[in-house]
Amino acid sequence: MKEPSIIGTWINVITQTYESYGYDKNALLAEAGIDVRDIRSPDARIPITSYSRLWALAVANTKDPCIGLNVLPYLKPTTFHALGVALMASSTIKEAMDRLLQFYQIITDEVDVRINAGENVTELCFSPFPDRPLPAAASVDAFMAVTITYARTLDEESLKPRSVELMHDRPENTQRFDELFRAPIVFSAPDNRISFYNSDILKPLPAANSEIARKNDQIAIEYLSRFRKDRLDYQVHEKLIELLALGEPSLDKVARSIGMSTRSLSRYLGRRNTSYRDILTETRKQLAVQYLRQMRFSIIDVAFRLGYSDSSNFTRAFKQWFGRSPSDFRESIGL
């Protein structure tokens, strides 16, 4: 699979934030190995390694580990392409959360986004994949800050989440976190999540516009289509998600389903230093984590959804991937 990426327009928000500290944003981009021409197009994507390096340099140069909380003045409705506008036109905060879940890959495929809906509280989670490096703390802070700001823009400035959880360590001074989130904050948590009261997120929103939301949803769909069309490996990944519940599909079956010969697909993937087996394994790993985070699926259910005929084979594979059993993984995230 190709390296995860992030939308280029978000880089502009980071560099403007950095510039507000009195530093040269072009020098920062150059040091991070990002060409300024690569972030001008609304379709531009930046590799996560370059993005993480950018945040690390920004924190080191400004000596402010909480710089991610200061991105808000530089956020634009179109920073996240059509998704930002669609979010603003949503009928409720819950609908905006569902829209974010559907289209989050417009922003990045670095994390797994999910919604845990309870009777009184709904959690919006941004979970790193277990086999990838943790996102930069400043990056997490920035996205969490953007999330609560979007919610308050949609509803009212006084909106308070039930709680906020962050995986990174507690900073020396938490005042800026307290002022921004206005809720109990847990650091060194097992996940990155914001919990909202259902009574807040199900209220009709005054600025809702279903026509604008639908039109921008369509633009978002077209964006993702272009993004995925350029990534044949992603097409294989998507087809595997569709077929795995019926048993492990063959390379020939997947190739035919996307209109290619087995030989052509194998050669294409080989030129990109991957293979069908690599993508199958990566897809299973990602889906395993997503399914295990949902208690409605038993471990046997997860195994069958991943195309395993026997749950013991799944457990053995999971241990090879992550060094622990599926049940141990669930226990580690508090499920």
Task: Assess if residue 137 is contained within a domain.
Answer: yes
Q: Quick check: helix, strand or coil at residue 320?
A: helix
Instruction: Say whether both 282 and 186 belong to one domain.
Output: no
Task: Assess if residue 183 is contained within a domain.
Answer: yes
Task: Assess if residue 44 is contained within a domain.
Answer: yes
Residue 330 above 90 pLDDT?
A: no
CB distance 93 to 170 below 8 Å:
no
Residue 331 above 70 pLDDT?
A: yes
The DSSP letter of residue 41 is: S
Residue 8 above 60 pLDDT?
A: yes
Per-residue pLDDT, averaged over 82-110, amounts to 91
Instruction: Say whether both 206 and 251 belong to one domain.
Output: no
Task: Assess if residue 222 is contained within a domain.
Answer: no
Over residues 238-286, the pLDDT tens digits come to 888 888 988 888 999 998 888 889 988 888 888 777 889 988 998 898 8
Query: Crossing angle of helices 8-19/48-62, nearest 10°?
Result: 10
Using alpha carbons, select from 147, 146, 155 the residue that is nearest to residue 203: 155
Instruction: Say whether both 146 and 284 belong to one domain.
Output: no
Q: Where are the alpha helices (DSSP H) in the chain?
A: 8-19, 25-32, 48-62, 82-88, 93-103, 137-154, 175-181, 198-201, 210-229, 232-243, 251-257, 262-271, 276-292, 299-305, 311-322, 326-332
CB distance 236 to 279 below 8 Å:
yes
Residue 110 above 90 pLDDT?
A: no
Instruction: Say whether both 260 and 321 belong to one domain.
Output: yes
The helix (H) or strand (E) run that includes residue 122 is strand 121-128
CB atoms within 10 A of CB 246: 10
Select the more confidently predicted residue: 27 or 259.
Answer: 27
Instruction: Say whether both 287 and 326 belong to one domain.
Output: yes
Per-residue pLDDT, averaged over 169-176, amounts to 94
Residues forming beta bridges with residue 114, ordered by sequence position: 125
Instruction: Say whether both 102 and 185 belong to one domain.
Output: yes
| Predicted local confidence at residue 305, as pLDDT | 93
Q: Give backbone dihedrals phi and psi of 262, rounded to 5 degrees, phi first.
A: -60, -45
CB atoms within 10 A of CB 9: 21
Domain tally, the chain: 2
Instruction: Say whether both 271 and 203 belong to one domain.
Output: no
Select the more confidently predicted residue: 128 or 20.
Answer: 20
Tell me the range of 55-69, 253-267, 291-305 where mean pLDDT is highest.
Answer: 55-69
Task: Assess if residue 225 is contained within a domain.
Answer: no
Instruction: Say whether both 197 and 132 belong to one domain.
Output: yes
Over residues 306-327, the pLDDT tens digits come to 999 889 999 999 999 988 899 9
Instruction: Say whether both 36 and 181 belong to one domain.
Output: yes
Over residues 123-132, the pLDDT tens digits come to 999 988 776 7
Token pair 């979010």 is at which residue? 87
Q: Say if strands 185-186 and 163-165 run parallel, antiparallel, or are unpaired.
A: parallel
Instruction: Say whether both 16 and 151 belong to one domain.
Output: yes
Instruction: Say whether both 153 and 204 belong to one domain.
Output: yes
Residue 298 above 80 pLDDT?
A: yes
Q: In whole angstroms, what is the distance from residue 255 CA to residue 116 CA? A: 35
pTM of the complete model beyond 0.75: no
Residue 229 above 70 pLDDT?
A: no
Q: In whole angstroms, what is the distance from residue 33 CA to residue 137 CA? A: 20
Single-letter amino acid code for the residue at 114: R
| Predicted local confidence at residue 1, as pLDDT | 43
Q: Give backbone dihedrals phi and psi of 237, rounded to 5 degrees, phi first.
A: -55, -45
Cα pseudo-dihedral 225, 89, 165, 297, rounded to 10: -60
Domain that holds residue 278: 231-332
Q: 210, 245, 263: which is the final residue of a domain?
A: 210
230 falls in which pLDDT band (50, 70, 90)? low
Instruction: Say whether both 174 and 241 belong to one domain.
Output: no
Task: Assess if residue 239 is contained within a domain.
Answer: yes
